Amino acid sequence: MTEDRWEIAWSHQVEGRVGAIACLGEDSLIAAGSVVRRLNADGDFLWRREFSFDVYRLEHDGTNVAVLAGTAFFLLDLATGEPLGEGRAVSGGFRDVVSRPGGGWLLSDRGDHIHLFNRRGRGIRRLRPGPLQKMIGWLDREILLAQDDDGCLRALRLGGDDAQRRIETTRWSWVSRLYRGRLLVQHVDGSLQEGVPNPFGWDRIDRIPGDGLVPIQAAWTGEGWWTLDVAGDLIRLPPGDDFERRPAGDLLSSNHADRMLSATRNGLIRMWIGPHLVSRRKLLFEEIASGEIRRLDWEQRQVIFEAARDAEDSGMISRAIELYESLGRAEDVRRLISIREGADV
């Protein structure tokens, strides 16, 4: 195992088709079929909540989790899984959801509207920016970056005059979420790039070396970007000459630091941990193993001692001496030798 290798901390096979996942610090949220579950750092189940329809999107703000299921939007308390309110529905359902920097939620429907909700899930207003493929992230507290139906990036100002503009005319075939001001974009020619966008264009945009990568999901960690490609392999960016493809699945999420959560659609969930957590876990297991060895050694010595006492009580002096010698009990050995020599006189 190399020092910079990520490893699997735990895995689960859950029932139902996995529709969405979210990494929540050390914990995780899994939506399989119509059931949402929260798991702790060790992969133990904390709570479950069932809905009437399959869940296809999860988004949390650190306090609550937004759930998209059927045509409706629901909020759950992260600590308990209890619902907050009765949910809200629109004709055709919602496409995407993001939490708002100042608190609250923003949802895009499958038409050409976006819907603003407060942090408790109460509707505030509805805007009509046109059809959006994806809400990418916030450039500041009021400006949302999104990908429109043509594949172009738009900056939407959700305040004042609710203005919007395309930041450029390039049509991207795929766009990641925005993490710490950065995102990944793939051009229609297949080239993958990382950029820092602003409301009027790019602060910078750089091509990522490597050919043949077709990402479907991406996650940011303390070590940089990881992607899932169409083959379901987990790949660190930028890929080196001898980069490793690691089977992971169809969905990917991270805590933006040292944990990643992956899932296959048919229910195989894996929690990946970064190198420093791998080292810490290895040391913990070594301490546990060392303690177990010491415990077993003590138990074995106790058994040998009792066998020596039994041999002595039964008059099997030579056998008792051998057993006491194996324990290093020199005083008992001398005592039995004296007894045996006295008997031989």
CB burial of 241-260 (b: ≥16 within 10 Å; e: otherwise) equals eeeeebebbbbbbbbeebbb
Element (H, E) at 293: helix 275-313
Give the three-state DSSP class for 113.
coil
Torsion of CA 223, 228, 229, 233, to 10 degrees: 90
For residues 68 and 55, what is the distance between their CA atoms, to the nearest angstrom?
A: 6
For residues 173 and 190, what is the distance between their CA atoms, to the nearest angstrom?
A: 8
| 30 neighbors 39 (Cβ within 8 angstroms) | yes
> Is the four-CA dihedral 147, 199, 158, 218 of positive or negative sign?
positive
| 274 neighbors 224 (Cβ within 8 angstroms) | no
CATH classification (class only), 7-275: mainly beta
| 196 neighbors 182 (Cβ within 8 angstroms) | yes
What's this model's pTM, rounded to 2 decimal places?
0.79
For residues 39 and 44, what is the distance between their CA atoms, to the nearest angstrom?
A: 5
For residues 284 and 302, what is the distance between their CA atoms, to the nearest angstrom?
A: 27
- CA 204 from chain centre, in angstroms, equals 29
For residues 241 and 149, what is the distance between their CA atoms, to the nearest angstrom?
A: 36
Strand-pair partners of 27: 24
Half-sphere exposure of 113 (CA within 13 A, CB side): 11
Which pLDDT value is given to residue 162? 74
Instruction: Locate the DSSP E strands across 121-182.
Output: 123-127, 132-138, 143-148, 153-157, 164-166, 172-175
Planar angle of CA 65, 70, 74, nearest 5 degrees: 25
Residues of the chain with pLDDT under 70: 1-3, 160, 241-242, 278-296, 342-345
Closest-CA residue to 22 (of 252, 270, 238, 307): 252
Which pLDDT value is given to residue 62? 92
| Domain spans in the chain, listed from the N-terminal domain onward | 7-275, 282-344
- Please write down the long-range contacts of 241-246, taking CB distance under 8 Å and 24 or more positions apart: 243/210
Instruction: Burial-class residue 64 by CB neighbours within 10 Å (0-12, 13-18, 19+).
Output: buried
Residue 163 dihedral angles phi and psi, to the nearest 5°: -75, 160
| 323 neighbors 309 (Cβ within 8 angstroms) | no
In angstroms, how far is the first alpha carbon of the chain from the final one?
Answer: 65
Phi-psi region of 294 (alpha: psi -120 to 50; beta: other; left: phi over 0): alpha
Element (H, E) at 48: strand 45-50
Half-sphere exposure of 75 (CA within 13 A, CB side): 22
Quote the DSSP letter at residue 43: S
For residues 95 and 97, what is the distance between their CA atoms, to the nearest angstrom?
A: 7
